[in-house]
Copies of this chain bind each other. A is one copy, B any other.
Amino acid sequence: MPAYPPATVGMPLAEVDTPALILDLDVFEANLKRLKESLAGSNVKVRPHAKSHKCPQIAMRQMALGAVGVCCQKVSEAEALVEGGVTDVLIANEVVGARKLTRLVALAKQARIAVCADDPGNTDALAAAARAAGITLDVLVEVNVGANRCGVEAGEPAVELARRIASSGSLRFAGLQAYQGSAQHVRKVEERRAAIEGAVAKVQRTLDGLRTSGIACPKVTGAGTGTYMFEAASKVYDELQPGSYIFMDADYARNDWTESGIPRFEHSLFVWTTVMSRTSRDRAVVDAGLKASSVDSGMPKIADGGPAEYIKISDEHGVIQLNGAAGYEVGDKLKLIPGHCDPTVNLYDHYVCVRKGQVEAIWPITARGAVW
C-alpha cells in the first residue's frame, strides 16, 4: 500500500492525485434512496452485497436505510465487515477448507453469521466445526437457479441437503440461496424477466419439496441489481442481494431498464486519472491502466467524454482516441467510469469521497484483497 494517500479531507477534487477511486457522495446517497423507494410497500427485505464495496462505512449506511444486514463472498471479507461494526453477514457462497471453517465459527461468536453450502461433505465439515466451537451455525442451501455455477439442483437434491443440515445437530437450516447471476447483465428486460421466472419456478419446486418433507424454510434470498424487482414481485423471495446499484458501472449501464421497474441508478464511482502524455494529435495517454480499472467487462468509459474514447489499456497506461475532442492536454484530469465496479474497487485501499468538487471523507476499503 502506498506510503501517502492520494487525497486529504477538504482538498478540492482538482488536487486529488491520480489514479484514485472517487465516490460522488450526492449520487451515491441518491442511489441508496432510489433502491429503498423502489421497494416501498413491499415486504421483501434488503441485504445488499458488500462484495461490491468491501467497506464497513458503506455497509453501515445501507443498514441505516433499512438493510437487514449484508452479504459477502469470503470469510476474510466477513471478518473485515464485522471488525468495522457490521452485525449481520451472510456469506453468500460456499466456504471450504479447515482453516476457513475455524475462522468462520470463531466469527459466528462475534456477529450473526450465515453461510451457504451445496455439498454434503462440506455440510458435515461445517457441522463438525460448529460442534467443536460450541455453536449452532446458520447454513443456507445454495440452489442452482440457472447460472450453472455453484448450487445443488432444485427440488429433491436441495431438499436432501437441507435435511442433512437440519439433522446435523450443530447447524440450523437457514433457507435457500437462489441467485441467478447469469441473468444480471442480459441486456433485454424481457430476457432478464424470463430468466428470473425460471429461477422462481426452481425455488418454488424446492419450497414444495421442503414442505412435503416437513422442513421449515426460514427464507429465500438472492437477486442482483439487474433483476431485483422481478424477485421482489415473485412472492417466493424474502430477501434481495443487490450490490452494484450503489455505484453502477459501464457494463450495467448497457442494460435496458425500460419498464423493468428498476430505477435509473446513476454512476457514482469513478477512476480519477491524469493525461500523462500527448505526443500525437489523435491520442492522449492517461495514467490509469489495468492496475487502476478492471477490464473484464470492457474498457472504462470517459465520463462526459464527448467523442473521445478509451480504446486501449496496458498495465499503467490508457490510450484515449480523441476523435476530434478538444482538451486532453498533459496534466488535465478526467473521470473514468469503470467497466466493472467490483474488481476495480478491489484494486484500491480508499474511496476518496467527494461532494460538490471537494473531498469530504476518505473511507478505507478494509476488505480489499480479502479473497480467502
Contact = CB atoms under 8 A, between A and B. Distances in A.
Interface stretch (A229-237, A261-269, A272-280): A272-280
Given A17-B99, A149-B314, A346 B347 contact: yes
A347 to B, nearest CB: 7
A contact face: mostly helix, strand, loop, or mixed: loop
Interface string A272-306: 00111111100101011011101110000000000
A355 interface: no
Interface string A168-185: 000000000000010000
Interface stretch (A22-30, A90-98, A186-194, A214-222): A90-98
- Assign chain A's interface to a size class: 35 or more
B17 A331 contact: no
* Copies per complex of this chain: 2
A157 to B, nearest CB: 8
B372 A6 contact: yes
A309 interface: no
A3 B106 CA distance: 13
B3 A83 contact: yes
A371 to B, nearest CB: 5
A150 B6 contact: no
A51 B94 contact: no
B149 A316 contact: no
A158 to B, nearest CB: 10
A370 B153 CA distance: 44
Given A2-B79, A4-B103, A94-B276, A296 B287 contact: no
Interface stretch (A60-68, A118-126, A202-210): A118-126
B19 A276 contact: no
A249 interface: no
Interface string A323-362: 0000000110000000010110011110000000000000
A40 interface: no
A289 to B, nearest CB: 8
Contacts of A296: 290, 295-296, 313
B369 A96 contact: no
A227 interface: no
16 contacts: A2-B372, A4-B103, A17-B97, A96-B274, A97-B331, A149-B285, A149-B314, A150-B277, A152-B279, A153-B279, A287-B371, A287-B372, A296-B296, A296-B313, A316-B371, A348-B369
Interface of A: 1-4, 6, 15, 17-20, 51, 73-74, 76, 79-80, 83, 93-97, 99-100, 103, 118-119, 121-122, 144, 148-153, 181, 274-280, 283, 285, 287-288, 290-292, 294-296, 313-317, 319, 330-331, 340, 342-343, 346-349, 366-372
List of 10 A-B pairs having minimum Cβ-Cβ separation, nearest first: A2-B76, A150-B277, A73-B316, A290-B343, A2-B370, A96-B276, A94-B276, A17-B372, A291-B346, A17-B99
